[in-house]
């Protein structure tokens, strides 16, 4: 299986099986996952004629509890799909292609996270042990395998691109775009118990050393204040005595 698809949005459309290409007459399940608890989410799509339709209305899907199932797909079911809630909140868009070719590329329908392992498979409508498989990225050949799959270890942004495959004697698939999203930043780690236990004694040490200096500073301030008051009182008394002596003379 390829990497678990990653959805950045709070309302997400999931595709089962998880791939963006399907053969004609395949069955597809489309499910709305809504973390905002919006009500009445429905699967919608844009048709090739530019119309927006809802599952069960205008196309062959059957809808129930935010899930749409297309039992027998046709090329006309190709398009851009999304979920839309009753309060008009939209999910991510998913491009789905129904091919009438004999070969398809099995690649994730949703973006994958950086660092994930991604497996791309080349599938033929008719299995044969004699098949040789070629994979292409952005029009250039990247591998030639007899196993029919290619593994991308630790996916990065440089792995994004348009992929397709071909089978000897069976033809070539349509292209599918692989999107790689940046990993979420790690949450800051909480301080360990050991760090907390060391910081408390250190804090107590600083308090014991600093308290005498603080108390002496306060005491000196009080003494200085009292001396100023005493000096002011002496000056006032001397001034009053001088006034009395001048009146007697």
* pLDDT one-digit tens code per residue, 208-231: 666 776 676 777 777 767 777 766
Predicted local confidence at residue 66, as pLDDT: 83
pTM of the model: 0.66
- How is domain 11-181 classified at the architecture level of CATH? Sandwich (2.60)
From CA 142, how far away is CA 166, in angstroms rounded?
12
Greater model confidence, 129 or 246: 129
| Domain spans, the chain | 11-181
| DSSP 8-state class, residue 76 | G
Neighbours of 116 (CB within 10 A): 21
- Give DSSP secondary structure letters for 149-164: EEEESS--GGG-EEEE
Q: How confident is the model at residue 86 (pLDDT cuts 50, 70, 90)?
A: confident
- The rounded Cα 147 to chain-centroid distance in angstroms is 33
Any residues with CB less than 8 A from the CB of 242 and at least 6 apart, and which?
none
């Amino acid at each position: 299986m390829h990497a678990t698809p990653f959805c950045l949005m709070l309302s997400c459309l999931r595709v089962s099986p998880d791939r963006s290409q399907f053969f004609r007459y395949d069955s597809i399940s489309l499910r709305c996952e809504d973390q905002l608890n919006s009500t009445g989410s429905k699967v919608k799509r844009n048709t090739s004629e530019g119309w927006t339709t809802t599952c069960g209305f205008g196309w062959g899907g059957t809808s129930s509890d935010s899930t749409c199932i297309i039992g027998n797909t046709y090329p006309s079911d190709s398009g851009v799909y999304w979920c839309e809630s009753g309060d008009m909140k939209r999910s991510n868009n998913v491009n789905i292609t129904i091919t009438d070719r004999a070969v398809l590329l099995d690649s994730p329908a949703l973006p994958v996270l950086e660092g994930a392992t991604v497996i791309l498979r080349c599938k033929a409508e008719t299995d044969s042990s004699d098949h040789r498989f070629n994979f292409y990225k952005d029009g250039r050949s990247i591998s030639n395998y007899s196993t029919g799959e290619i593994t991308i270890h630790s996916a990065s942004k440089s792995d994004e691109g348009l992929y397709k495959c071909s089978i000897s004697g069976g033809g070539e698939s349509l292209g599918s775009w692989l999107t790689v999203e940046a990993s979420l930043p790690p949450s800051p780690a909480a301080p360990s118990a050991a760090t907390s236990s060391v910081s408390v004694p250190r804090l107590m040490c600083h308090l014991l050393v600093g308290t005498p200096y603080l108390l002496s500073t306060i005491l000196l301030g009080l003494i200085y204040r009292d001396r100023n008051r005493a000096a002011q009182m002496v000056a006032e008394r001397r001034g009053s005595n001088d006034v009395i002596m001048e009146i007697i003379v």
